[in-house]
Chain A
Amino acid sequence: MNSRLPDPARRRAGRRTWRQALRRDWQLYSLAVLPLLFFLVFRYLPMLGNVIAFRRFQPGGSVFGERWVGLRYVRMFLTDPTFWDVFTNTLVLGALTLLFCFPLPIVLALLLNELRSRRLKRFVQSVSYLPHFLSIVIVAAMVMQLVSMDGTVNQFVRAVGGEAVPFLQQAGWFRTIYVSSEVWQTVGWGTILYLAALTAVDEDLYEAARIDGANRWRQTWHVTLPGIRPTMVTLLILNIGTFMAVGFEKILLLYNPLTYPTADVISTYLFRVGIVSSNFSYAAAIGLFESVIGLTLVLSANAISRRAVGTSLW
């Protein structure tokens, strides 16, 4: 990145006082006022608002709660068996999602990369991105139609001689349904970054590998994959960061009391406790826990990747 001002001027700019800066750039700062207000009010204020996790909240009273009750709510959810059930579910669903939705776009990108016809490649890509643009309500509705008693899946089951299964009413099937629909919706879109990274891999490396006698598979293993490793790592870190918020909206749309044992996750439990039952402080405590874990995960993943692989987000 080239500096925009000659050196002496830059040094001067760095030592400019706030007063001078404001006088010189007040118009720029003015443009930032409304956005900053947005961040303050709708992003940072709620972070502070989590303090109600430690206070007793009365609806209609102060936004920050009435009385300080300390760790009462934290202790409440730590000893709540339902909480640990949903915590487990969150981990399981998150891990399953990561297990399937992380590698598959890479595989698909590699396969697409082997297509010789550019038009065909573009066609498959365009089709594969389509599910990403659908509202989650549409996806959930489609899933419901497909696994309903008269839907395609049960038609197939009956065709091979089995009994129709009410999939959405059985806790045992929820994970499969959830992960499959997640794969359907995200794999195509996930290939974008990988395909871009693939075209950036230095052609000379392939040439060198070929001269050394490497066939296609070895070339892929030794040249391609290491070449896209920074992209993989970055996306992995980002995915781990969103781990805890695993599919909140989709689960909310697809679950029901019968599937709570496997489907209920921290965010949906929090929703029921907080919004439906209006138990705000308790829910806020859980939410804070969720956010802290998420942040910890991202920071750890980042640190680990920096240590182990050399690339990290910051």
Chain B
Amino acid sequence: MTIDTSAPAPATGRRHGAHTSRGYRVFRVVNAIILTGVVLVTLYPFVNIVARSLSDNAYIVSGQVNLIPRGFNLAAYRAVMSDPMFWTSYRNTVVYTVVATAASIVLTTCYAYVLSKRQLKGRTALVGIAVFTMFFTGGLIPNYILVTSLGLKNTVWAIALPNAINVFNLLVMKAFFESLPVELEEAAAVDGLNTYGILLRIVLPLSKAVVATMVLFYAVSFWNSWFAAFLYMDRLDLFPVTVYLRNLIAGATDATSTGGGLGSASDVVQSAATIQSVTIVLTVLPILAVYPFIQRYFVSGVMLGAVKG
């Protein structure tokens, strides 16, 4: 049941009587202030970074840049955008995201469909196999040894395969498939469609929203990932943009940061604050751009999973 919290009419709606009390009115004001504060605190770092990226280095170093750019110039932007390695990294991110998401969606959808068939013999075991991995993992070292000995280092598969199926997403899709009416599939079977046909022609077209949500979940997760690439890629030209950024900031911490020890490709470079800020902005931009449109899919996806999973 949904409660219309915006309805002002006192006849419906909940928790009246205390509405006009002075204490409650004070609370409402305080609440508004707090929530405004939440919005400001959440947005502040973004504004700050943008301001720093547009400012002259001298102003930044002297600690004068905060909300507004000082000494507005685009030199840093030009510097970063003319670095071919930056664009290579970006291209890598896109490629890795597309490949990994595709693999994940196919695997997850197939398995979720199978798991949704309640009368399938062995189904409980199949579900258990997946769910158990949520609570116990092999750990970093065996995974590293495995991926290395499979020869996946320096390939996109080192990023795509080890995390191909996210069990949470799997359970959400399974719950969704279970909610589809059996009659549809039975009717299709009567019409002569085999399992593959039912999945492709009946079930998937009905599941567009869920599949789209899962594509988004996986895509964002792979887009943002850095550690797998950091671990398994040795060559500069294979880094995604997150690792590119990571190398920039690793140079800014103590020079003996452990990142410098991994592989020959990570160079410890002392970067100007502007370069870092610009890179941050350029890396965040795509996410910020699509965010307003995709945000509600994520929310509904999480709720789907929680309610049914």
Contacts and interface: CB of A to CB of B under 8 A. Distances in A.
B72 interface: no
A131 to B, nearest CB: 6
Contacts of A57: 145
B111 A5 contact: no
Interface in B46-61: 48-49, 52, 60-61
B35 A28 contact: no
A188 B256 CA distance: 35
Contacts of B24: 215-216
A31 B199 contact: yes
A128 B223 contact: no
Interface in A121-154: 121, 123-124, 126-131, 133-138, 140-142, 144-146, 148-152, 154
Nearest to B60: A150
B254 A258 contact: yes
B223 to A, nearest CB: 7
Nearest to B223: A135
A112 B36 CA distance: 11
B253 A168 contact: yes
Given A32-B114, A145-B49, A192-B299, A283 B63 contact: no
Interface residues of A, number: 114
A179 interface: no
Contacts of A305: none
A50 B130 contact: no
B261 A193 contact: no
Given A126-B292, A135-B226, A290 B139 contact: yes
Contact of A284 (B34, B139, B298): B139
Contacts of B18: 210, 215-216, 219
A210 to B, nearest CB: 5
Interface in B138-183: 138-146, 149, 161-162, 164-165, 178, 182
A35 B110 contact: yes
A43 B117 CA distance: 24
B184 interface: no
Interface string A18-37: 10010001011101101110
Contacts, number: 319
A45 B38 CA distance: 44
Interface residues of B, number: 117
B139 A108 contact: no
A306 interface: no
Contact of A42 (B3, B42, B146, B253): B146
Contact of B14 (A115, A141, A206): A206
B302 interface: yes
Contacts of B295: 126, 129
B261 A276 contact: yes
Given A47-B142, A192-B302, A210-B16, A138 B245 contact: yes
B306 A47 contact: no
A71 interface: no
Contacts of B182: 4
Contact of A39 (B34, B42, B120, B165): B165
A272 interface: yes
A101 to B, nearest CB: 15
Given A49-B146, A192-B302, A192-B303, A36 B120 contact: no
A193 B309 CA distance: 13
B82 interface: no
Interface string B277-309: 101100110011001100100110011001100
A256 B256 contact: yes
Interface in B178-216: 178, 182, 194-196, 199
A115 B135 contact: no
Nearest to A37: B107
B2 interface: yes
B38 A124 contact: yes
Contacts of B39: 123-124, 127-128
B11 interface: no
B257 interface: yes
Interface string A235-257: 00000010000000100111011
Given A63-B145, A116-B5, A256 B254 contact: yes
Given A28-B195, A128-B38, A138-B284, A38 B135 contact: no
A274 B302 CA distance: 35
A116 B6 contact: yes
Interface in A165-192: 168-169, 184, 188, 192
Interface string B65-80: 1100000000000000
B121 A49 contact: no
Contacts of A1: 118, 178
Given A31-B199, A46-B143, A216-B27, A196 B307 contact: yes
A111 B120 contact: no
A295 interface: yes
Given A39-B165, A196-B307, A4 B119 contact: yes
Contacts of A32: 110-111, 114, 126
A148 B248 CA distance: 15
5 contacts: A25-B121, A27-B195, A35-B107, A168-B253, A249-B227
